[in-house]
């Protein structure tokens, strides 16, 4: 990042995420984990219905982030991700998948809002809004679904369609598909990144950029 303040915030967030990882792992793995891609089908890092923020085309390095919109570490990485997307534009395909953690009251509500927006081709707009406002609603012990609905109104979405999507069990199933597949891939905390299908172990704030640079340097 460009400033010591951002580096400090990111470092603290990563340390907190690592400290909580063991607890989160237990909580996440208490959930049932049905086969994510169908009976007997192996887990895949990217699915045809995964949300692609940037498509670098053939030969691009594929970066996949399993995220929780309420996760403070994800929020801290959000500006890093945006810098990386800008820096490597045209060289990477950036994909995001849902991984709402059980300890966050509104993580699933936020994912439902994003998925409902995706139904109107506005996923990225909601993605930005949720992270940019995380400090307003994150860690709330009450449902903030109404706030997220307000975001949808501000984005000019068809509200009847939005409400129907949020209430549709298929929308929740779509979110849980990502969660279940993440678990099958070994994801236990957020953010978790995969670079060209390989999981990235985060230890420093610039590990993601370094991994992308390395992948690009070895690309055919």
pLDDT digits (tens, 9 = 90+) for 152-170: 999 999 999 999 999 999 9
Is 216 a residue whose pLDDT tops 60?
A: yes
Predicted local confidence at residue 15, as pLDDT: 45
Determine the topology of domain 4-217 in CATH. Answer: Glutaredoxin (3.40.30)
- What are the structure tokens assigned to 36, written together? 């994510």
**Chain-centre distance for alpha carbon 45:** 13
pTM: 0.83
Domain ranges of the chain: 4-217
Count other C-beta atoms under 10 Å from residue 82's C-beta: 13
- Residue 189 has what DSSP assignment? S
Q: DSSP string of 88-109?
A: TTTTEEEEEEE---TT-TTHHH
Count other C-beta atoms under 10 Å from residue 154's C-beta: 10
Question: How would you classify the pairing of strands 61-67 and 92-98?
Answer: parallel
């Amino acid at each position: 990042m460009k400033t010591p303040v951002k580096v400090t915030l990111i470092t603290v967030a990563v340390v907190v995420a690592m400290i909580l990882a063991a607890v989160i792992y237990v909580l996440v793995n208490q959930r049932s984990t049905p086969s994510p891609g169908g009976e007997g089908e192996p887990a895949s890092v990217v699915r045809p219905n995964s949300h692609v923020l940037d498509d670098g085309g053939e030969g691009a390095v594929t970066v996949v982030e399993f995220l929780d919109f309420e996760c403070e570490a994800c929020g801290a990485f959000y500006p890093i991700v945006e810098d990386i997307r800008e820096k490597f534009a045209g060289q990477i395909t950036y994909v995001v998948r849902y991984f709402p953690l059980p300890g966050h009251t509104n993580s699933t509500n936020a994912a439902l809002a994003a998925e409902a927006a995706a139904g109107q081709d506005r996923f990225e707009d909601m993605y930005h809004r949720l992270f940019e406002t995380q400090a307003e609603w994150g860690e709330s012990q009450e449902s903030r679904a109404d706030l997220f609905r307000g975001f949808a109104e501000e984005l000019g979405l068809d509200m009847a369609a939005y409400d129907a999507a949020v209430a549709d069990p298929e929308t929740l199933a779509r979110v849980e598909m990502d969660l279940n597949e993440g678990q099958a891939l070994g994801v236990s905390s957020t953010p978790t990144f995969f670079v060209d299908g390989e999981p990235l172990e985060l230890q420093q704030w610039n590990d993601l950029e370094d991994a992308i640079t390395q992948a690009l340097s070895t690309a055919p």
